[in-house]
Amino acid sequence: MPSILVKTSIPGPKSKALAERQGKAVPRGVSQLTPIFVSRSEGAVIEDVDGNHFLDLGGGIGCLNAGHRAPEVVRAIHEQVERYLHTCFMVTPYDSYVRLAEKLNDLVPGRFPKKTMFLSSGAEAIENAIKIARAYTRRPAVICFEDAFHGRTFMAMSLTSKTHPYKAGFGPLAGDIYRIPFGYCYRCSYDQVHPECKFHCARSLEDTFERVVAAESVAAIIVEPILGEGGFVVPPPEFLPMLQDICRKYGILLIADEVQTGFARTGKMFACEHFGIEPDLVVTAKSMSGGLPLAGVTGRAEIMDHTGPGSLGGTFGGNPVACEAALATIDVIERENLCERAGILGDHFVRRARAWQKRFPIIGEVRGLGGMQAMELVRDPETRTPAAEETRQIVKRCYEHGVILVTAGTFNNVIRMLMPLVITNDQFDEALGVIEGALEIVGPGDQNLVSGRPAPVHV
Ligand SMILES: Cc1ncc(COP(=O)(O)O)c(C=O)c1O
């Protein structure tokens, strides 16, 4: 498929007609950033119903590290479709579930025996990880982080940080959840500067145990190794090991949410590997299965085995087509060295984005790990006031010129790179050229449009 091809105004007439029908048939709450209806996709390219072609730097929000319709994945799906579609693993089991569990038990960090169960969505897997942690520890409380995102179901939503649009109006939320700051140095909640802060955010956990919730009441600390929806925030290298040490000291389980960071995105199969931590439970989803709905919880065997028969599962969890797709996807990731590719793409992005940063003061920070890279956009590099409206305009201009982007950040001012890792160098450069064009057009904008609380002033 050719890369960018813009034949109509964007959205084109057929997309517009479908959007109108969507408006009448689908609730407003299910909304899109890019009003383009897809007709087919391949590699890193999406073709819309009007025949326009887009380079996809969003990957269905990080689900397509191995690319759209990787041939091996499509083949595995076809083969499975010819055999059976669903029996329910809790009624009549099948081997692909077991083979995939074995594969994850091997891949997920942790030098101890592990077991894995499957669900249908990231949020559902988060729910199960918390259930398992509470049952095993016989403790109720869970600690989570500012700027975290864990999904839209009740426990996952309660663990999520951002109020609008995720939590506001949906209460009461799940109880016994306590939130502490993440190692987000660009917007430090304690207004300190790294490394002089001496990791105040991680150390303050001990203070939380005195002032907020007793350590012996805490079942788990759940953390994204790198914030996803929160803005691709990479904590200082010491942050996660410090959390792990505190967890071990108090018998608290460490749960890593690798839903967005997993499966080669950061340059390793799992982001935890960069930090040398071995979480007790790891939650996976998104890019595991090449675009089919599948999620997993992998953890220490003794923890995973604690609850009795029938206590875990779900009708569609570990669907056989999704399991075969996942086995094929992981094969592609390994065979095509997509971890290495993520690093190459990430380095290339950083080089270009740092050059842009010198020209465009709107780029407050370029950050990330491997192929998980982002730019945080600000009205002013000193005040760090979030440039949410400008971010929206850049994304709009990009999709009008053939590049699909997704935003992130509590203040909606981060542009994140979630391109399929099979994108070619030429395609990636072409897409970055479109972003550069948008940066040239969209200036700092009208100061009155500022949304979100102002950032603390840093020196
Ligand atoms: C880190 C993280 N956890 C959990 C979820 C929820 O996954 P799902 O949308 O599949 O429920 C997401 C989704 O974006 C995510 O990024």
For residue 33, the model assigns a pLDDT of: 85
Report CA(368)–ligand 1 centroid distance (Å).
18
Asked if residue 447 has pLDDT above 50, the reply is: no
Asked if residue 122 has pLDDT above 90, the reply is: yes
Asked if residue 454 has pLDDT above 50, the reply is: no
Report CA(255)–ligand 1 centroid distance (Å).
14
Report CA(59)–ligand 1 centroid distance (Å).
14
Report CA(225)–ligand 1 centroid distance (Å).
13
pLDDT category at 448 given cuts 50, 70, 90 is very low
CA angle centred on 376, ends 61 and 401, rounded to 5°: 60
Report CA(123)–ligand 1 centroid distance (Å).
6
Report CA(191)–ligand 1 centroid distance (Å).
29
Asked if residue 411 has pLDDT above 80, the reply is: yes
Give the least confident one: 27-31, 202-206, 408-412: 202-206
- On whether the CB atoms of residues 389 and 412 are closer than 8 A, the answer is no
Site of tokens 């897409």: 431
- On whether the CB atoms of residues 374 and 368 are closer than 8 A, the answer is yes
Report CA(14)–ligand 1 centroid distance (Å).
30
Asked if residue 2 has pLDDT above 80, the reply is: no
Ligand 1, atom 7, residue with closest C-alpha: 122
For residue 443, the model assigns a pLDDT of: 64
Asked if residue 136 has pLDDT above 60, the reply is: yes
Atom of ligand 1 nearest to the CA of 229: 16
| DSSP element (H, E) containing 374 | strand 372-377
- Neighbouring CB atoms inside 10 A of 357's CB total 17
Q: Ligand 1, from 160, 255, 259: best to mutate by most atoms within 8 Å of Cβ?
A: 259
pLDDT in tens, 73-92: 999 999 999 999 999 999 99
- On whether the CB atoms of residues 221 and 247 are closer than 8 A, the answer is yes
- Neighbouring CB atoms inside 10 A of 301's CB total 13
Q: Ligand 1, from 124, 286, 372: best to mutate by most atoms within 8 Å of Cβ?
A: 286
Give the least confident one: 194-208, 284-298, 371-385: 194-208
Helix (H, G, I), strand (E, B) or coil at 339: helix
User: Residue 25 is encoded by which pair of tokens?
Assistant: 């048939």
pLDDT in tens, 323-334: 999 999 999 999
Q: Ligand 1, from 120, 149, 294: best to mutate by most atoms within 8 Å of Cβ?
A: 149
Phi, psi of 48 (to 5 degrees): -95, 175
Report CA(55)–ligand 1 centroid distance (Å).
23
- The sign one gets for the Cα dihedral 425, 431, 437, 438 is negative
Least Cα distance to 451 among 411, 392, 394, 407 occurs for: 411
Segment 231-253 shows an average pLDDT of 97
Site of tokens 């390219």: 45
Ligand 1, atom 13, residue with closest C-alpha: 151
Helix (H, G, I), strand (E, B) or coil at 452: coil
For residue 203, the model assigns a pLDDT of: 86
Report CA(125)–ligand 1 centroid distance (Å).
9
Ligand 1, atom 16, residue with closest C-alpha: 260
Asked if residue 9 has pLDDT above 90, the reply is: yes
Report CA(259)–ligand 1 centroid distance (Å).
6
Atom of ligand 1 nearest to the CA of 286: 10
Look up residue 38 and give its amino acid: V
Q: Tell me how long the chain is.
A: 459
Atom of ligand 1 nearest to the CA of 152: 11
Report CA(30)–ligand 1 centroid distance (Å).
15
Atom of ligand 1 nearest to the CA of 295: 10
Residues near ligand 1 with C-beta < 6 Å? 61, 121-123, 126, 149-151, 224, 228-229, 257, 259-260, 285
Whole-angstrom Cα distance, residue 305 to residue 174?
Answer: 25
Share of the chain above pLDDT 90, in %: 94
Whole-angstrom Cα distance, residue 322 to residue 330?
Answer: 12
Asked if residue 212 has pLDDT above 70, the reply is: yes
Render 377-408 in DSSP notation, one character per residue.
Answer: EBS-TTT--B-HHHHHHHHHHHHHTTEE-EEE
Ligand 1, atom 3, residue with closest C-alpha: 150
Ligand 1, atom 4, residue with closest C-alpha: 150
Render 427-445 in DSSP notation, one character per residue.
Answer: HHHHHHHHHHHHHHH--S-
Ligand 1, atom 8, residue with closest C-alpha: 122
pLDDT category at 105 given cuts 50, 70, 90 is very high
